[in-house]
Amino acid sequence: MPLQLLRRPRRNRHTASIRALVQETKFHRENFVQPLFFHAGEGSPEPIDAMPGVLRHTLSSLLEECRTLVDLGMPAVALFPCIEPSEKNPEGTHATDSSNILYRAIEGIKKVSANLMIIADVALDPYTSHGHDGLLTEKGEVDNDSTIEALIRLALLEAEAGADLLAPSDMMDGRIRAIRHALDRASFEDRGIMAYSAKYASAYYTPFREALQSRPGAIPLDKKSYQMDPANTREALLEAKLDEEEGADILLIKPAGLYLDVISSIRKMTLLPLAAYQVSGEYAQICAAARAGWLDYQAARDESLIAIKRAGASIILSYFSAEVLKELNQQKLCSS
């Protein structure tokens, strides 16, 4: 005899239709940003071994990829230039060289589509021969204040080239306020700042550094003096609070999947839009496990992304972004 239950939560899980009707967290194309790697070389784009399906583009293939992304309805791309070793030095001076491929890429993408939002990374690690995100003192320590001066010059040139959002990813103290003031003085009041507010010193960045070719040696760089300790949450709240006070328009947490608690905590303390970066190591893990037959690729991918949105991020930077948008578009066609 059936139990006399007034509430049976399983009723709302009984069919695909009712599950879709009551689903609390849904993907929208506006949630996604596609990170893109590129270099100044010619020829075909280069595959990145540790990131299946991700390419290191030439300028021409980058622009073609952006045309494809526009057709998909991608709202934004995040740009990461791979700089030739011969152009790197300890001071990262190529960052502000007019020949930097980054500025040509920004200008070219804006000709492809004025409406495709460009998020430009503000950091020195692509340009420094030592691979750190800042300038070093004689003792080999990252110098906060002199680094900020270099970041200001980089951000202004990115804005001048046409970048819509400047994304300081360096974790220097005070850089948001300094960049905001510099942008305003240069009449770039309309350009936003997406602050990497809680960027952790994570082991999951290695494929990204391979993509940028920013690892000068086999030993991983120690960035713990400026990136955050993975053990700390309250420190992330402080960093986010400071960035908001200094004029950030969007706050970002990186990595995403391993720091859902941090995303949730920052979501509760701010009214600003919140972004999260599903980093290269997270992407590579899912791809590798799926290739080995240990995970269902699409199911694991979507579960990882929905968790990020459920935690409170409305903007997701992910290497899965383009393929998710393709599937969203197909679903829309099927349901129309």
Distance CA 320, CA 314 (A): 16
**Which of 126, 122, 56, 55 has the alpha carbon at shortest distance from 85?**
126
Instruction: Identify the active-site residue in 88, 199, 223, 309.
Output: 199
- Judge whether 59 and 105 are in contact, CB under 8 Å: yes
Residue 283's SS3 state is helix
The answer to whether the beta carbons of residues 33 and 76 sit under 8 Å apart is yes
84: closest CA among 103, 64, 99, 70? Answer: 99
Which listed residue (254, 268, 309, 326) is catalytic? 254
Nearest to 317 by CA among 252, 270, 266: 252
The phi, psi pair for 95, rounded to 5°, reads: -55, -35
CB contact at 8 A, 328 and 29 = yes
CA distance 281 to 50: 9
- Catalytic, 254? Answer yes
* Catalytic residue status for 224: no
User: Exposed, middle or buried, 334 (CB in 10 Å: 0-12/13-18/19+)?
Assistant: exposed
Count Cα neighbours of 137 within 13 Å in the Cβ-side half-sphere.
6
Alpha-carbon span 253 to 58, nearest angstrom: 29
Look up residue 293 and give its two tokens. 């037959």
Cβ-in-10-Å burial (0-12, 13-18, 19+) of 218 comes to exposed
Residues annotated as catalytic are 199, 254
